[in-house]
Amino acid sequence: MTRFFGFKKSGNDPNWLRNCLVQNESSLIRYVNNLTRDMELSKDIVQESFLKLWQEDQEKISGHEVPWLFTTCRNRAYDVLRKKDRKNISADEIELDIPDAALNAEQLMDQHDEESTLKQLINNLSPQQREIIHMKFEQDLSYQQISDITGLSKSHVGVLIHNVVSKLKSAARAKKEAL
């Protein structure tokens, strides 16, 4: 590979990169923004990750693009956060997509209470648990993809998700019964 404006000139298929970009860019930006809480920084990190992808050997990464991109973005985001001395991500920073239907005032209050309860419960999770829950339920990644991104075994990811969901269900049930 030769150098082109400081970057290695890639022999990869431009359509491959374009397809990866179209299929993954928005979910990567949301994921990184969830970690950094800075949209412009998130876009920069994702752009850097696609530049790195372009410089990698397409044959080596082909078929594993999604975990590779998420891992690269995650590592870069954590590098940036470490430099900013930011260590925790609060549950208030996790955006929840709740369907918006025509609800009456009582239903809206119930929905708001449930959302507040869920945010409080998520806030009590460890940063690792919050991140894994976000990857599974917000990004819809498979256990294997989460495993590839975090370096945890696939079975460990499954156990963590099961334990967190069980913990959230029982805590929500207990809080509801207390009301």
Is 156's pLDDT higher than 90? yes
Question: Over the stretch 49-77, which tens digit does the pLDDT of each residue have?
Answer: 988 988 888 888 888 889 999 999 999 99
Is 9's pLDDT higher than 80? no
Range list of H helices, 56-126: 58-61, 65-83, 105-123
Residue 64's pLDDT is what?
87
Q: What is the mean pLDDT of the chain?
A: 78
| R_g of the chain computed on alpha carbons | 19
Least confident window among 5-14, 15-24, 114-123: 5-14
Mean pLDDT for 115-119 is: 72
Show the beta-strand stretches assigned E in the chain: 3-4, 7-8
**By percentage, how much of the chain surpasses pLDDT 70?**
75
Is 171's pLDDT higher than 50? yes
**By percentage, how much of the chain surpasses pLDDT 90?**
23
Residue 107's pLDDT is what?
59
Residue 40's pLDDT is what?
92
Mean pLDDT for 145-166 is: 90
Question: Confidence class of residue 25 from pLDDT cuts 50, 70 and 90?
Answer: very high
- Residue with the bigger pLDDT between 92 and 64: it is 64
Domains and CATH numbers, the chain: 3-83 (1.10.1740), 93-178 (1.10.10.10)
State the amino acid at position 86 in one-letter form.
R
Q: For the purposes of burial, counting CB atoms within 10 Å of the CB of 22, is it exposed (0-12), middle (13-18) or buried (19 or more)?
A: exposed
Question: Confidence class of residue 96 from pLDDT cuts 50, 70 and 90?
Answer: very low
Cα separation, 140 vs 145, whole angstroms: 10
